[in-house]
Amino acid sequence: MTPLTAPPRANPRFSILSEEFAAAPERHFGWLREHAPVHHEPAVDAWFLSRHRDVHRVLTDHEAFTTATLQVRAEPVMRGPVLAQMTGAEHTAKRKIVVRAFTGTALREQVRTVRANAVELLGPLLAEGRMDLVNDFGKPFAVRVTLDLLGLDRQDWRPVSHWLAGVGEFITAIGLSEERRQDCLARAGELESYLVPVIEQRRRRPGDDLISALCTAEFDGIAMSTREITALVVNILVAAVEPADKTLGLLFKQLLDHPEQFAQVRRDPALLPAAIAETLRRTPPVQLIPRLAERDAEFDGTVVPAGATVFCMIGAANRDPAVFADPDAFDLHRADLGTARSFTAAAQHLAFGTGLHQCVGAAFARAEIETVAALLLAQLDQVRLSPGFEYRETGLYTRGPVALVLDFTPVHG
Ligand code: 2IO
C-alpha cells in the first residue's frame, strides 16, 4: 500500500485539475479537508467541498443547493429532464415508479439476468487463465445486463457502449473541448434515435421488460412522458454502466491488496457485502456530485456565492476522520461501516449520495455486484495480478482502474 503523503502545507498553486491530483486524488484529500475544505478552482469557477459534514449538508439542504446544474451538465445528452432534476410531488411520484422497477420481485428477476450474463461471459474467459476484469469482463457485462433489463437487444452492446461513453464523458467532464462536446452530443443523438422507436412501440404493446414497466406505470395519477422515459432510459444505461466495471475492479484490487481479508471473504462469502460496502466507502466510483448554490452559503468562514457550482467530493468525505476511524485503511470489519445500512438512506458513506436524490439503483447495484463477485470468487482460484501488469486508475468525476489483468486457476463444475 502506498503511504498517503500529504503535499506541502501552504500550497496556493494546488489544483484539482492538475496532473498531480489526477494521478492520486486520495493523497490530497487530507490536505484539502484540513487546509482548503472549500476550495475554489478559478479555471472552471467551481467550488470543491471535501469534509463529510459539508458534503452531507449540501446533499440534504435541498432549498439552498439544487440539482439545477443538470440542465447544462446532463439534459443535452439525456435528451430530456431526468428524475434528479425534478422536485416536489412530481419527483416523489416518479421516483416511486422507478424504485418499484428496481426492488422487490423486479429485482429478484433482475438478479437472474445478472447471473445469466455473468456465466455466459465468463465461460470463454475461464479457460484462458488470464483476463482483464475491467475490459474483457466488467464493461461488456454491465452493458449487456442493462440492455437485457430494458428489453433491448444485448447483441447491440458495442454501438450502445460507444454512444454511452459519449454521454458519460459529457456528464462527467470538468471542462470539455468544443470538438469533444460535439462528438458527445452526436453520440447522444444516435442513442436517442435507437431508443425512441422502441419506447413508442412498448407504449403501444407493453412486454415484461423495464421500458414497458416505465411506460405503463402510474403513481398518484402521475405517469411519465416519452421524453422523460427516453431520458430515464439513457440515465439508467449510464448509471448502471459507468460505475459497475469500476466497482468490480476496485473490489478485486482491494482484496488483492489485503490477502488476509481476501482469504476471509473466500472462506465466508457472507462477508462479501461488507467488502463491497468498504470498497464503495474508500474508493467510490462516483467521486463528484454537483449542485447549484441557490443563495450565498457559508462554510467555516468561506462564502460560496449564490449561483455557484459546488462539487461534493465524495471520495474525500468518505475518508473524513471525523466520521471513519483510520479512514484510509481498507477494513471490511470496521465498526463504523454499518454494512446493513450501507446500501440504504441511512448509509454513513456517501457513495450513493444522500438526501432526496440518493441513488435509486443502490439496491440493484448491490445485488448486481454481489452476484457477480460471488460467481467470480467461486470460479477463479489463486487470483493474482498478472506479472508485469501496472495498475493505474483514471478519472476525476467517475474514477476506476484503467484495466485489471488477473491470472487465475479456473475452477470447473
Ligand atoms: C445525470 C455519473 C454516471 C446517476 C445524473 C442524474 C446521473 C446520476 C451520478 C450517477 C453516475 C453517473 N449521477 N448516476 O452520479 O444517475
pLDDT tens-digit map of 321-346:
999 999 999 999 999 888 888 888 88
CA of 399 to the centre of ligand 1 (A): 13
Nearest CA to ligand 1 atom 16: 239
Ligand 1 atom index nearest CA of 168 = 3
Q: What is the pLDDT of residue 413?
A: 59
Q: What is the pLDDT of residue 279?
A: 98
Q: What is the pLDDT of residue 221?
A: 87
pLDDT category of residue 146 using cuts at 50, 70 and 90: very high
- Substitution site in 191, 289, 350, 359 for ligand 1 pocket (most atoms within 8 Å of beta carbon): 359
Query: What is the spatial distance between Cα 241 and Cα 160, in angstroms, rounded to a whole number?
Result: 11
Ligand 1 atom index nearest CA of 286 = 15
CA of 289 to the centre of ligand 1 (A): 8
Closest residue by Cα to residue 163 from 242, 81, 70, 276: 242
**Mind listing the pLDDT tens digit for each residue in 67-116?**
999 999 999 999 999 999 999 998 999 899 999 999 999 999 999 999 99
Average pLDDT in the 254-283 region? 97
Q: What is the pLDDT of residue 10?
A: 52
Q: Give the lowest-confidence range in 16-30, 127-141, 204-218.
A: 204-218
71-104 core/surface letters (b: 16 or more CB in 10 A; e: else): eebbeebbbbbbbbbbeeeebebbbebbbbbbbe
Nearest CA to ligand 1 atom 1: 74
With a cut of 50, say whether residue 353 has pLDDT above it.
yes
What integer best gives the mean pLDDT of the chain? 94
With a cut of 70, say whether residue 290 has pLDDT above it.
yes
Average pLDDT in the 254-260 region? 98
Q: What is the pLDDT of residue 1?
A: 44
Q: What is the pLDDT of residue 276?
A: 97
Q: Give the lowest-confidence range in 170-174, 201-205, 223-227, 366-370.
A: 223-227
With a cut of 90, say whether residue 164 has pLDDT above it.
yes
Share of residues in the chain with pLDDT > 90 (%) = 89
With a cut of 80, say whether residue 312 has pLDDT above it.
yes
Nearest CA to ligand 1 atom 8: 239
Phi, psi of 170, deg, nearest 5: -60, -50
What homologous superfamily is domain 20-404 in, according to CATH?
A: Cytochrome P450 (1.10.630.10)
CA of 239 to the centre of ligand 1 (A): 5
Query: What is the spatial distance between Cα 17 and Cα 29, in angstroms, rounded to a whole number?
Result: 14
- Substitution site in 247, 286, 292 for ligand 1 pocket (most atoms within 8 Å of beta carbon): 286
**Mind listing the pLDDT tens digit for each residue in 44-81?**
999 999 999 999 999 999 999 999 999 999 999 999 99
Nearest CA to ligand 1 atom 11: 239
Ligand 1 pocket by Cβ (under 6 Å): 70, 74, 82, 84, 168, 171-172, 235, 238-239, 242-243, 286, 289, 398
With a cut of 50, say whether residue 171 has pLDDT above it.
yes
Query: What is the spatial distance between Cα 350 and Cα 343, in angstroms, rounded to a whole number?
Result: 10
- Substitution site in 87, 91, 238 for ligand 1 pocket (most atoms within 8 Å of beta carbon): 238
Q: What is the pLDDT of residue 297?
A: 98
Ligand 1 atom index nearest CA of 353 = 15
With a cut of 80, say whether residue 412 has pLDDT above it.
no
Average pLDDT in the 303-317 region? 98
Q: What is the pLDDT of residue 345?
A: 86
Share of residues in the chain with pLDDT > 70 (%) = 97
Please name the residue ranges forming H helices in 205-325. 210-216, 226-257, 259-267, 272-282, 314-317
Q: Which three cell numbers stand for residue 295?
A: 443563495
**Mind listing the pLDDT tens digit for each residue in 211-249?**
999 999 888 888 888 999 999 999 999 999 999 999 999
Ligand 1 atom index nearest CA of 236 = 16
Query: What is the spatial distance between Cα 317 and Cα 349, in angstroms, rounded to a whole number?
Result: 8
CA of 71 to the centre of ligand 1 (A): 13
Closest residue by Cα to residue 338 from 288, 278, 381, 397: 278
With a cut of 50, say whether residue 8 has pLDDT above it.
no
Average pLDDT in the 140-167 region? 97
Q: What is the end-to-end Cα distance of the chain in Å, rounded?
A: 35
Q: Which three cell numbers stand for residue 58?
A: 449540501
> What distances in angstroms separate CA 227 from CA 3, 75, 79, 159, 209, one per listed residue?
49, 11, 7, 22, 18
With a cut of 50, say whether residue 2 has pLDDT above it.
no
With a cut of 90, say whether residue 5 has pLDDT above it.
no
Average pLDDT in the 373-397 region? 97
Domain boundaries, the chain: 20-404
